[in-house]
Amino acid sequence: MTTLDELRTFLKVDDFQPADVPALFPAAVRRYGREPLTEGWATDEAARALMLAAVPPAEIHEIYRYGDTAEKLAVLKALPLLPIGDSAVPLLEDALRTNDTRLVAAALGPYADRLSQEAWRQAVLKCVFMGVPLSSVHRLHERADSELGAMLRAFAHERHAAGRDMPPDATALLDRLQED
């Protein structure tokens, strides 16, 4: 996985000063552009991750709270790189309450390892329901369990009764769970 040090090297920036972060964070796209940088990271996302590394955890919550969608996505993406323990789990829960497919997908990255199994299953099912590709879900196959299989089976039954299709990736997951 990409590290903060790698992002710092690629972006060629010094450490951010905490006092500068509130003004810089929303302006990251204007300041650092939105160009591909490394392994799925764009320049603005990398800059924002490094800014979050410079501030205390409470401020990460504040930045997320007042963020626009791109800022919220950048916070969710940066979470697994930050030394913050479980403190940002409420941010994942917030993202998973939305109906924005981008936020729901972003909440299921590596930091979602800290999400309870009950919340994680609901989130995966929500992805299926919203049409978010299951490839967005970190460690899907390791973590999917028989209870998720039961939930998917019931959902497939509802869809079938309504004459509607299941997304192919959800059907594939269900097949795999039934084989186990």
Q: Does residue number 135 form part of the binding site for other proteins (CB under 8 A)?
A: no
Query: In angstroms, rounded to a whole number, what is the distance separating the alpha carbons of residues 161 and 145?
Result: 24
Site string for other proteins, 75-114 (x = CB under 8 A): -----------------------xxxxx------------
Q: Does residue number 29 form part of the binding site for other proteins (CB under 8 A)?
A: yes
Q: Does residue number 130 form part of the binding site for other proteins (CB under 8 A)?
A: yes
How many chain residues interact with other proteins (CB under 8 A)? 19
Measured in whole angstroms, how far is the alpha carbon of residue 133 from the centre of its chain?
A: 13
Question: What ranges in the chain are assigned the alpha helix state H?
Answer: 4-11, 21-24, 28-32, 43-53, 57-65, 69-78, 89-97, 101-106, 117-130, 140-143, 146-161, 168-179
State both tokens at 108. 């299921």
The distance of closest approach from Cβ of residue 135 to other proteins in the complex, given in angstroms and rounded to an integer, is 12
Binding residues vs other proteins (CB under 8 A): 23, 26-27, 29-30, 66, 68-70, 72, 98-102, 129-131, 133
